[in-house]
């Protein structure tokens, strides 16, 4: 703790918590936002992507992914856009998330796989996995990674998002649980993943905005948000995601119920591990499609 300010409840009461956070994690974000170019993320939503029974419409989801990636990269044709991300000779791991309560939608995995194959990557050179990535031949020899998972609150790290999704690339995840999982971004520097991630996607088809239940999951606190958040900066996506979850809690409960733990790993990913941008003032959210009750 020596040499840095301790953030307390009182900082939140004063409304100075964000500033205090950034001061705690490093001096560069305190005060005004830096003048650098903003990081772009794309939020795309479609109210028909799920039907009343909760089934996902594969065609609409593919379209959402295509439009989002095209917007992100400034390209009109989705295959051309994916060609900016993936080469035909790449070996591609799609790092998914298999948490049984709220997994990455299979339809989204397939939509991503389809576009990677459209680029010219043979199916045998594409792997989709979560917990088995350390033993998966594709992931072990991968040259490119696509990181995709649902957004949710997380008991220990505050938010389960893009940064945390790589915890399965280490054999001892519990060693990354100290200080509300703040070291999580260090995993992104390990050889098996370093520099390989071409695209990050937070599935907002359904978001879990509050923890309760046997495995910290209760369907009453899951929102049918029907969106995707797409970007190349995992930290920016998680920062926007954390804000969305906060707004969803406020909407649902009529008051902000704080996360179990503040998502310090997002700030640490920015200030300590230099993985991306966490300052919302430096993130441009481009919105596409249906925006009713989008909150952000």
Partner 1 sequence: MRVSLFLLLVIGVVLVTTEFPALSAEKDGRKAEMKRLLPLKVEDYKTDGKDEFYDRQTTFRYMDGAAELYRSYAFKLLLVRRYLKSGHPSLLVELFDMGSSEDAFGIFSYQTEEEEVGIGQGSDYGGGLLRFWKGNYFANIFAERETPATRKDILTLGEAIAKNIKKKGSKPKLIQFLPEEGLSQGTIRYFHLHQVLNHHYFISHDNILNLGARTNAIFATYPFSGEKSKTFLLLIQYPDQKQSEKTFKSFVKAYIPEADSSVAIRIENNKWTKAQLHKQYVIVVFDAPDNGKTEELIKITQTHLERRRP
Question: Which residues in this chain contact partner 1 in the complex, by CB under 8 A?
Answer: 1, 6-10, 12-14, 99, 131, 154-156, 160, 173-174, 177, 179-180, 212-216, 218-220, 258, 260-262, 264
CA angle 234/276/77 to nearest 5° reads: 55
- Quick count: other Cβ atoms within 10 Å of Cβ 10? 10
Cβ 82 to partner 1, closest distance in Å?
30
Closest by CA to 189, choosing from 212, 209, 163, is 163
Q: Give the nearer residue to partner 1 in terms of CB position, either 233 or 271.
A: 271
Q: Give the nearer residue to partner 1 in terms of CB position, either 88 or 213.
A: 213
- Residue 40: strand, helix, or coil: strand
Q: Give the nearer residue to partner 1 in terms of CB position, either 152 or 196.
A: 152
- Residue 107: strand, helix, or coil: helix
Residue pointed to by tokens 């040499």: 3
Rg (CA), the chain: 18
Look at strands 222-223 and 197-208 and give their pairing.
antiparallel
CA angle 69/118/129 to nearest 5° reads: 75
Exposed e or buried b per residue across 15-35, where buried means at least 16 C-beta atoms within 10 angstroms of its C-beta:
eebbbbbbbbbeeebeeeeee
Cβ 61 to partner 1, closest distance in Å?
23
The tokens for 48 are 């028909």
**Residues 93 and 133 sit within 8 Å (Cβ to Cβ):** yes
Residue pointed to by tokens 């200080």: 179
Q: Give the nearer residue to partner 1 in terms of CB position, either 157 or 197.
A: 157
Q: Give the nearer residue to partner 1 in terms of CB position, either 82 or 139.
A: 139
Q: Give the nearer residue to partner 1 in terms of CB position, either 219 or 281.
A: 219
Cβ 240 to partner 1, closest distance in Å?
20
Cβ 294 to partner 1, closest distance in Å?
26
Q: Give the nearer residue to partner 1 in terms of CB position, either 167 or 280.
A: 167
Cβ 296 to partner 1, closest distance in Å?
23
Cβ 14 to partner 1, closest distance in Å?
5
Cβ 161 to partner 1, closest distance in Å?
12
Q: Would you state the torsion angle of the CA atoms of residues 286, 104, 118, 236, taken in this order, to the nearest 10 degrees?
A: 30
């Amino acid at each position: 703790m020596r040499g840095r300010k301790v953030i307390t409840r009182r900082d939140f009461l004063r409304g100075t918590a964000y500033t205090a956070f950034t001061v705690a994690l490093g001096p560069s974000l305190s005060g005004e936002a830096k003048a650098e170019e903003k990081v772009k993320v794309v939020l795309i939503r479609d109210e028909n992507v799920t039907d009343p029974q909760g089934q996902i419409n594969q065609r609409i989801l593919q379209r959402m992914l295509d439009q989002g990636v095209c917007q992100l990269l400034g390209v009109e044709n989705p295959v051309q856009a994916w060609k900016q991300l993936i080469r035909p000779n790449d070996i591609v791991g799609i790092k998914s998330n298999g948490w049984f309560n709220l997994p990455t939608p299979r339809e989204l995995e397939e939509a991503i796989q389809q576009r990677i194959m459209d680029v010219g990557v043979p199916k045998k050179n594409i792997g989709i996995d979560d917990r088995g990535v350390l033993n998966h031949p594709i992931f072990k020899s991968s040259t490119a990674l696509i990181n995709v998972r649902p957004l949710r609150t997380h008991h220990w790290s505050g938010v389960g998002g893009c940064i945390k999704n790589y915890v399965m690339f280490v054999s001892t995840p519990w060693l990354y649980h100290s200080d509300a999982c703040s070291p999580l971004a260090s995993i992104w520097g390990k050889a098996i993943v370093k520099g390989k991630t071409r695209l990050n996607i937070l599935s907002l088809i359904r978001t879990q905005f509050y923890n309760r239940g046997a495995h910290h999951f209760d369907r009453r606190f899951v929102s049918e948000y029907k969106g995707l958040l797409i970007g190349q900066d995992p930290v920016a996506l998680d920062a926007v995601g954390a804000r969305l979850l906060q707004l969803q809690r406020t909407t649902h409960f009529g008051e902000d119920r704080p996360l179990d733990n503040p998502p310090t790993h997002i700030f640490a990913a920015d200030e300590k591990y230099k993985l991306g941008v966490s300052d919302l003032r430096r993130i441009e959210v481009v919105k596409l499609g249906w925006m009713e009750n989008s909150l952000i």
